Structures are given as structure tokens and as C-alpha cells.
């Protein structure tokens, strides 16, 4: 019995020494685990694609900042696709995300075209839609109640003594922008206020 325990102890020591030599050699050679190759066996890459337009706007920048920190803390890699251009670079970037087998895509606004959401779903990605009105089965939608919020703004203006409002909106016509406009107009009309709407491109 004592001999068996001694043999087992000696074997563990040999394994520990061998493991230490392998790790030292890997470090000396600059070896790193290929997570993409490892992901093929698990059928997951750890890549999350962030699809965004108007990256420079303060709200979008802050959202990107928080999302990338959360993804990094969760051991994920964020891949950014900027959809501001219309020269084919968006399609190429999305194609690359799909070829790298991104696990999921998060679309951060109503600006990117709806065909992007369909492409992501067809490729088997999990999909998160922020401030979009796409009714895509299997996706998670996160929307603010822009209509109600704009109504509260109109009420606040009335309480402040305002009687005439102006609303500046973009021609982009995203769901969030239009919900804000319609909410403000409806509340202002109900409160007997006049609203001037100005659009810009």
C-alpha cells in the first residue's frame, strides 16, 4: 500500500515537471492558443459584431464604450462594422464577420438597412436590435418608449410657460426619431400648443 502511494506521488511529480517544461517552452517560443481554431470544436468564436452608424454622435460613442467593456469582461471580442458608407465596404465587413463565424451581432440603431438583420439571422447569428422596429423572429429587441418620452417633454415645456414649440428632426426617418416627433406632436396638440417641425439631412 505504501509503495502504491509512493509510486502515485512520483508519477504526479513527473507530470507536473513535464507540464512546467511544456509551458516554459511555449512561452519561450511565443506560442498562444488559437482561439479561432478552438472555437471550431465548440462551434463558437467569441466574436460579437457591433453594427453601427453615426459612430461620432455622443450617445452612440457612449453606448459603444460601455458595450465593448462589457464584452471584454465577458471574454468576448468586439468587431465593429461602421455602416455610414455606401461603397460596398459595409457588405465586405459583414461578410468578414460571417466568415469568422461571429456568434452574435448587435445593431445599435435604426439606421443600418433591414437587409443586414436578415443576413445576420440567415447566417445563424444571435441578434440584438437596439431602437429598431424590425419584427425579426429569434432576435432580442431593446427599445425606448420615445413616443411617451417626447410627450413628457411637451408637458414639461407647458409647465415652463412655453406656448410654441419647434422640433428639429432628421430626414433619416428612423423609428426612434419618428416616434419622438409623433409623440411630441400628439402631446402638444392635446395641450393646445403649436409645433413647427424642421427637417435636415
How many Å apart are CA 57 and CA 193, to the nearest integer? 30
Based on the number of CB atoms within 10 Å of its own CB, is 25 exposed (0-12), middle (13-18) or buried (19 or more)? exposed
C-alpha 195/C-alpha 28 separation (Å) is: 70
pLDDT range class, residue 191, cuts 50, 70, 90: confident
Per-residue buried b or exposed e for 154-181, using 16+ beta carbons within 10 Å of the residue's own CB: beebeeeeeeebebebeebebebbbbbb
Cβ-contact 133, 111 below 8 angstroms: no
Indicate yes or no: pTM above 0.85.
no
- The pLDDT of residue 95 is 79
Beta-carbon-side half-sphere exposure of residue 140 (alpha carbons within 13 Å): 9
d(CA 94, CA 105): 10
Query: Is 72 a residue whose pLDDT tops 90?
Result: yes
In this prediction, residues 22-30 reach a mean pLDDT of 74
At 78 the pLDDT is 92
Q: What fold is seen in the domain 146-200?
A: Rossmann fold (3.40.50)
Q: What is 36-142's CATH number?
A: 3.40.50.2300
Q: Model confidence at 37, in pLDDT bands (50, 70, 90)?
A: low
Amino acid at each position: 500500500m505504501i509503495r502504491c502511494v509512493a509510486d502515485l506521488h512520483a508519477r504526479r511529480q513527473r507530470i507536473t515537471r513535464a507540464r512546467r517544461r511544456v509551458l516554459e517552452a511555449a512561452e519561450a517560443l511565443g506560442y498562444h492558443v488559437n482561439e479561432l481554431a478552438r472555437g471550431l470544436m465548440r462551434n463558437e468564436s467569441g466574436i460579437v459584431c457591433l453594427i453601427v452608424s453615426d459612430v461620432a454622435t455622443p450617445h452612440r460613442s457612449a453606448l459603444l464604450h460601455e458595450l465593448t467593456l462589457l464584452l471584454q469582461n465577458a471574454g468576448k471580442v468586439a468587431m465593429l462594422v461602421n455602416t455610414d458608407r455606401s461603397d460596398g465596404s459595409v457588405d465586405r465587413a459583414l461578410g468578414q464577420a460571417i466568415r469568422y463565424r461571429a456568434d452574435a451581432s448587435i445593431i445599435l440603431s435604426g439606421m443600418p438597412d433591414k437587409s443586414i438583420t436578415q443576413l445576420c439571422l440567415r447566417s445563424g447569428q444571435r441578434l440584438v436590435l437596439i431602437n429598431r422596429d424590425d419584427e425579426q423572429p429569434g432576435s432580442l429587441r431593446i427599445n425606448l418608449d420615445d413616443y411617451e418620452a417626447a410627450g413628457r417633454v411637451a408637458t414639461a415645456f407647458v409647465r415652463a410657460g412655453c406656448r410654441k414649440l419647434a422640433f428639429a428632426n432628421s430626414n433619416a426617418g428612423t423609428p426612434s426619431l419618428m416616434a419622438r416627433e409623433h409623440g411630441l406632436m400628439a402631446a402638444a396638440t392635446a395641450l393646445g400648443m403649436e409645433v413647427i417641425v424642421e427637417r435636415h439631412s
